Structures are given as structure tokens and as C-alpha cells.
Structure 1
Amino acid sequence: MTGGDIPLSWFLLFASAAFAIGLFGVLARRNAIAVLMAIELMLNAANINLVAFWRYSDSPGPEAGPIAGVMLAIFVITVAAAEVAVGIALILLCYRRWHAADVDRYDSLAG
């Protein structure tokens, strides 16, 4: 085991539990802010997997570089920040129009 004292399976169990909680939040919640937070939880679970697999890998190979997993996780964090900015802007615009953050009321956006 090259990653440390905690086995890889614990990281994977934690990440899968966080992803499942996020998926439940996306499917069960009606508040747009809560759905956005659940999506962020799912992205963080993916980041945990990326960093855990990077840490426990023996050698990523010369084409990947020594910190490929961390760089990919930083890229996912950057994309998540952009997603939050666009998501909150859309939620604020919809709130101004319908005076609610309920995702069921946004069905008139279809056209």
C-alpha cells in the first residue's frame, strides 16, 4: 500500500456514499439551491476518487506526469466553480420572474 495508513477501499466507500447522497439530493429536492448543492457534492465525490486513485497508484507513467490526478481534480474544481456561478445566475433570474426557487415552476423554460 503506497498511499498511507488508510486503505483505498475506505476512500472509495466514502466517495460512493457522498455521490449517493448527492444523487438523492438531485432527485428528491425541489429547491434549486439544494439541487445545486447536491450536484456539488457529487463533483466532490468524483474529486475524492481522482485524488485517491492518484495517491494509491504505483506509477502513472511518463505521459501522465507525477501529479496528473491532482491536476485533474483542480480542473474539476475549476469547472465546478464556473458551474456554480452560472447556476446561481440562472436561479436568480428565474427567482426574479416566478418569485420562487422551486424547480417544478421552471417548466415554462422549455419554449
Structure 2
Amino acid sequence: MLSAYIFCVGFFGLITSRNMVRALMSLELIFNAITLNFITFSNFFGNQKGGEIFSLFVIAVTAAEAATGLAIALSIHRNRRSTRIDQLNLLKW
């Protein structure tokens, strides 16, 4: 239940946020909910090592995503002076 609540809060935050940093934080909540599900279900079904090892991979990917996403957000903020998602037109010259 806790994982479902965290996932719903993260999904709602991802859909409704206009700020890029807030969207990345919501994505982190979603990944944490998924990791919590992996560990819970691996302990529930008796395979204690599988879910924990897979959750370590998810945590590593999440850390790389956070570093890359924040670097992109910082670069966009330096160039455009805004991190609002709806105001970004990066594909247009």
C-alpha cells in the first residue's frame, strides 16, 4: 500500500509539474516506489536475493538519471533563465 501511494504521488507530480526539477523529483519518487515493490515481493515470494540485487541496479540507474537530468536542467537554466517545461522550445532555432 505504501508503494502504491508513493507511486501515485510521484505520477501525479510528474503529470502536473511545470518545473523541470519538480518533475525529476517526482520521477525519483516513482523509481523509489518501484524499488520498494521489488524488495517487498522478493521477500514475499521467498527469493530474497533477486529483488534486492535488482533494486540495486534500479538505484544505480536512478542516480545516473538524477545526475544527468540535473545537469541538463542546469544547462537549460543558464541558457534560457527558466526551467519551466511548457516554455522550452529547444528544437526550434
Matched, 1:92 2:80: no
Give the aligned length. 92
2:51 to 69, 80, 94: 69
Q: Please give the root-mean-square deviation of Cα atoms over the aligned residues, in Å.
A: 1.1
2:20 to 11, 32, 36: 32
Could you tell me how far 1:110 is from its partner in structure 2?
2.7
Alignment of 1:1-111 (within 5 A): 13-58=1-46, 60=47, 67-106=49-88, 108-111=89-92
Question: For the residues of structure 1 that align with 2:91 and 2:30, how far apart are their CA atoms?
Answer: 26
Structure 2 unaligned segments of length 5 or more: list them: none
Could you tell me how far 1:81 is from its partner in structure 2?
0.2
Map of 1:4 onto structure 2: none
Partner SS, residue 101 of structure 1 = coil
Q: Report the structure, 1 or 2, having the larger helix content.
A: 2
Q: 1:98 touches 1:105 (CA, 8 Å); kept in 2?
A: no
- TM-score, normalised by the number of residues in structure 2: 0.93
Q: 1:25 touches 1:35 (CA, 8 Å); kept in 2?
A: yes
Structure 1 unaligned segments of length 5 or more: list them: 1-12, 61-65
Could you tell me how far 1:97 is from its partner in structure 2?
1.0
Q: Which structure: larger Rg?
A: 1
* Over 6 Å off, 4+ runs: none
